[in-house]
Structure 1
Amino acid sequence: MLYKFKSRATADLILLEPHGRRLLQAMGKEPTAQGIVTAAQIPAAVAALEAAVAEEERRKAEAAQNDAMDEDGAVESSGPEQDTVTLRQRAAPFLDMLRRSAAEGQDVVWGA
């Protein structure tokens, strides 16, 4: 399944279901097949997404620090980072859509 986010202020944004669901849940929205983020709800949605991004980055930094320490507290070299797409990267185009929609007073809707 795909999520297709639409706004009259921007081009459409299409996300795979797991990624769209994650963004919707981070905003406090139910990941239903269709929905809306009204222009009035956008500032809270942006704040919630930014908080989720900050939390993920904090957890990853903490995990990396814990992985770098061995049992004696000495720093050991870690291997290359995994090639993963972070929430910040996934959320960036959606945050842009939300901000541009808010600036023009437009709602953001989604459908499957």
Structure 2
Amino acid sequence: MLYKFKSRATADVIMLEPNGRQLLQIMGKSTDPHGIVTAAQIPAALQALEAAIAADEAKAPPDAGQAQAKDDDDAGERPDTVRLRQRAAPIIDMLKRSAAQGHDVVW
């Protein structure tokens, strides 16, 4: 399943089900296939996302030393971890633009 977030203020944002569900749970919304974040609810949703991102970054290991190569063949490789900040960025942008224009976000 995919989540397709829509707003009159921005282009659609499509997310895979686990990532979309995680962000909806953080915002305190139902993970049903259809729902809404009203313009009045957007500030609280943004605060919840920012708090979750701060908590995620606080528990993350420091970047120093993570990408050290074990031998010459592995030089330059990086971990494949996508942090919550990166996953939430499109939704945060959508929410901010929607709030500025007074539009709801639906999925």
Post-superposition CA distance 1:22-48 (Å, at most 9, x none)? 100111112111000000000000000
Structure 2 counterpart of 1:109 = 106
Answer 1 or 2: higher relative contact order, Cα 8 Å, separation at least 6.
1
Residues paired across the two proteins, number: 96
Q: For 1:33, what is the secondary structure of its paired residue?
A: coil
Q: TM-score, normalised by structure 1?
A: 0.81
Distance in 2, matches of 1:78 and 1:103, equals: 41
Distance in 1, matches of 2:31 and 2:84, equals: 17
Post-superposition CA distance 1:47-78 (Å, at most 9, x none)? 00000000000011xxx26xxxxxxxxxxx84
Q: RMSD of the alignment, in Å?
A: 1.4
Structure 2 counterpart of 1:11 = 11
Deviation at 1:83, TM superposition (A): 1.4
Structure 1 counterpart of 2:70 = none
Give the residue type in structure 2 aligned to 1:29.
Answer: K
Give percent identity, aligned residues only. 67
Q: TM-score, normalised by structure 2?
A: 0.85
